Amino acid sequence: MVDGVVERPVLADLHFGREDAERDVTEGLLLRGGFLPNAAYRASVAGRKMLIIGRKGSGKSAVCMQLMADAGVDGGYGGGKALVTPDEAAGEEIRRFELQGLPGDSAKALIWRYLFAVHAARHLVTHAGSGAHGRKVPESVKALRRFLKQSGELTDGERLGERLAQWTRGLQTSLSLEAFGVKASVDATHAPSEGAHAIRQLEVVEQGVVRAFSELGCAHAGGGSHGHQPLLLMVDQLELVWSAEPDSNSMVIGLLLAAKHAAKLYGPAVRFLLFLRADIYDSLSFGEGDKFHGDELRIAWTEQALRDLALARARASAGAELTEDELWQGIFPARVGDEDIGAYLFSRCLPRPRDAIQFLNLCQETAWLIHGRERITEADVVQAGRQFSAWKLKDLSLEYLVAHPFLKHLFPLFQNTGYVVTRSALRSRFAAVVETLHGLFPAYAEALTLEGVVDILYGVGFLGVRRGNKVVFAGGDDLPVQPHETEFHVHRCFRVALGVTCALGIRRYEPQGVGSRVVSGNFSPQVSGATVISRDYRLLRELRRSCHSIIAQVGRAVTLATEARDEITQQINRVLDDVNRSLEGAAAVDADDHLLSTAQYFTTLSAQLLVSGLDDRGGAGGVGHRIEEEARRLRRIAGGSFGSSGDSAGA
């Protein structure tokens, strides 16, 4: 309490922002320091890239919103800007636009070129009227103003879809070109095709824009002698009007072709920036595709970058004086289990801001709103993680509903098993459901093969693949799954929702309870002066020997997944601890029953390991077979084979 005012705990004000950049801007967090400049932003400001590509939630729109809000200080973009976000009506107009004599991609490119020309013309009219280039307005700019007025484009009044409908009719018939000294229509009767006529009309408008840039002195880098930055034309949220249909792909390809053409036509006077979702861009196939590689920048997030983003947003909401240690060791618990808090949180998110923001906010809400705490505890993080995992599994299927409508039907292949799965194990599971999948999704039967399913699940981030000592997930420059790769891991993000929190999902060993017969300590008559060890003791000692033998085999299985080795060792150690307690007299058991029940557990464990397909790799099969050999040996011993080591009868 300060001067009679009760201080609110920091946790009460802590908020990591909204999942969508538009609301972040509206509520102010993004612009109060909650934006973390990254490579995509820096490349956009510098004009080095034209295509910003990333998964849903990777921060494309955040870059776009920040650019729109920039005032040209502290390295921000201070030039003219225009943002196009097509609605469904606009998307429908572009998708169904056709011109006789032009292929679909080229026809749709004309619509985008016209859109760019109109936005550039508006900018030039406003820019010239601002007095930035003196009081005298060039004739070329006056012509653009007349053209915009005649076409009803002087102000941005109507919805984009309605204006596009007007543009498509104009390109298919005639545009109002009198402002450029051209009669009402470029004579269509002399054009070899409808497409050729549309191109002639569009070129009149584009050349009018080029002349205006030149006469204003804006056609040179840096705005010529006037020193202002070029116009920045951006297109975002195209995924809202995209579907996995040829016309939708043509719409996107047309946009790419138009931006490439316009960038060359207008030169340094205009920069183009297209924000595209990775799955949409990667699905495109067209002849000019190889010409765009130099324009691409793919957004990638590391754990450290997500940590930095979280701290920036925490400071924006709770106060700039908040330190990193206060956030990660004071407000959040320093560790969850044996993991550092950052590693725990961000390894359970797909590497993108939206997921991190959701998980962090859920931890805060669980602690503050649900439990009324002033600090987030380990239990709060674990509880939030269960809810978050369920969200993300559902969100993944919705994210790819258009491209992969069958995705959620693949998740049961991994439910209630282990998060490590081999190609052979997946093959047997997939064989049991492939007929059903083909019946539900006949149009996708060619993609619904084992190889196709593995590629899709890897591509969407659900599965990772073991490469050497690392498990690699899609993103960056990583190779797709190779035919020789056989071991896959379910991403941590989805494991809790699927019930796959163990590597192999092997049955947990349960210690033996008190049996009907206790270790009696009976002694046989002394022979040759030696004390005869009781049968129960010898049985338990043989069981201990089996445990050590299995643990040693696991240690030699260097090609077995680390997680699998740890899980097997953990369960064998539970058996060993149970045996040691009995040998020390701390627990009373029926030794015969103990031996036989443990042998049965070993048989089950061996079967699970072998059926998992991990025995396909050198060393792993040795573990499975060693466990089964020890199970058989224990059964023989329990049957009375004490005349030797128990191994002479063969395994």
Q: Which residue has the higher pLDDT, 220 or 462?
A: 462
In the prediction, which pLDDT does 287 show?
83
Q: Which of 17-21, 333-337, 378-382, 493-497 has the lowest mean pLDDT?
A: 17-21
In the prediction, which pLDDT does 611 show?
75
Q: Which helix (H) or strand (E) holds 542?
A: helix 535-556
In the prediction, which pLDDT does 649 show?
39
In the prediction, which pLDDT does 72 show?
60
Across 105-116, average pLDDT: 92
Last residue of a domain, one of 443, 473, 498: 498
Residue type, 66: Q
Residue 530 forms part of a structural domain: no
Last residue of a domain, one of 365, 380, 399: 399
Across 233-251, average pLDDT: 88
Per-chain mean pLDDT for the chain: 83
In the prediction, which pLDDT does 619 show?
45
The answer to whether the predicted template modeling score (pTM) of the entire model surpasses 0.75 is yes
Residue 513 forms part of a structural domain: no
327 and 423 share one domain: no
Q: Which of 259-268, 542-551, 642-651 has the lowest mean pLDDT?
A: 642-651
Residue 445: domain span: 407-498
Cβ burial 503-523 (10 Å sphere, 16+ → b, else e): bbbbeebeebeeeeeebeeee
494 and 587 share one domain: no
The CA distance from 478 to 92, in Å, is: 36
Across 4-30, average pLDDT: 72
The answer, yes or no, to whether residue 203 has pLDDT greater than 80, is yes
Q: Pull the structure tokens for residue 370.
A: 């649900």
Residue 5 forms part of a structural domain: no
Helices of type H across 400-511: 423-440, 450-459, 492-498
191 and 132 share one domain: yes
Q: What's the pLDDT band for 586 if we cut at 50, 70, 90?
A: very low
- Residue 341: CB atoms within 10 A of its CB come to 21
Closest CA to 575 of 501, 504, 502, 512: 512
Q: pLDDT over 90 for what percent of the chain? A: 38
Residue 365 forms part of a structural domain: yes
Q: Pull the structure tokens for residue 299.
A: 């957004």
In the prediction, which pLDDT does 457 show?
96
The answer, yes or no, to whether residue 31 has pLDDT greater than 80, is no
Last residue of a domain, one of 344, 378, 399: 399
Residue 70 forms part of a structural domain: no
Highest mean pLDDT among 142-156, 312-326, 590-604: 312-326
Q: What is the pLDDT of residues 592-609, one digit of tens each?
A: 888 888 888 888 888 877
251 and 190 share one domain: yes
336 and 480 share one domain: no
**Beta carbons of 193 and 100 less than 8 angstroms apart:** yes
Q: Which helix (H) or strand (E) holds 298?
A: strand 296-298
93 and 204 share one domain: yes
DSSP track, 181-219: T--SS--GGGSSSHHHHHHHHHHHHHHHHHHHHHHHT-S
The answer, yes or no, to whether residue 411 has pLDDT greater than 50, is yes
Residue 587 forms part of a structural domain: yes
383 and 441 share one domain: no
Q: What is the pLDDT of residues 47-65, one digit of tens each?
A: 889 999 998 888 898 888 8
Across 130-154, average pLDDT: 82
The answer, yes or no, to whether residue 104 has pLDDT greater than 60, is yes
The answer, yes or no, to whether residue 523 has pLDDT greater than 60, is no
311 and 294 share one domain: no
| Beta-strand relationship, 51-54 and 270-277 | parallel
Instruction: List Cβ neighbours of 544 (8 Å cut-off, separation of 6 or more).
Output: 576, 579, 580, 583
Quote the number of domains for the chain: 4
Q: Pull the structure tokens for residue 476.
A: 């960056």
Q: Which of 189-198, 277-286, 323-332, 584-593 has the lowest mean pLDDT?
A: 584-593
Q: Which residue has the higher pLDDT, 513 or 639?
A: 639
The CA distance from 537 to 535, in Å, is: 5
**Beta carbons of 251 and 112 less than 8 angstroms apart:** no
The structure tokens 């196939």 sit at 285
Q: Which residue has the higher pLDDT, 482 or 590?
A: 482
Q: 90 phi and psi, to 5 degrees?
A: -65, -45
291 and 377 share one domain: no
The answer, yes or no, to whether residue 1 has pLDDT greater than 50, is no
Q: pLDDT over 70 for what percent of the chain? A: 84
258 and 316 share one domain: no
In the prediction, which pLDDT does 32 show?
61
The answer, yes or no, to whether residue 101 has pLDDT greater than 60, is yes
Residue 568 forms part of a structural domain: yes
- Residue 380: CB atoms within 10 A of its CB come to 23
556 and 477 share one domain: no
Give whole-number Cα distances, 238 to 56, 104, 242, 298, 604, in Å.
Answer: 12, 18, 6, 16, 52
In the prediction, which pLDDT does 225 show?
43
- Residue 416: CB atoms within 10 A of its CB come to 9
In the prediction, which pLDDT does 503 show?
84
**Beta carbons of 57 and 358 less than 8 angstroms apart:** no
436 and 551 share one domain: no
Which CATH number fits the domain that encloses residue 547?
1.20.1270
Q: Is 642 helix (H, G, I), strand (E, B) or coil?
A: coil
In the prediction, which pLDDT does 332 show?
97
Residue 253 forms part of a structural domain: yes
Give whole-number Cα distances, 155 to 227, 263, 469, in Å.
Answer: 27, 24, 60
Instruction: List Cβ neighbours of 479 (8 Å cut-off, separation of 6 or more).
Output: none
Cβ burial 106-122 (10 Å sphere, 16+ → b, else e): bbbbbbbbbbbbbbbbb
The answer, yes or no, to whether residue 329 has pLDDT greater than 50, is yes
In the prediction, which pLDDT does 450 show?
95
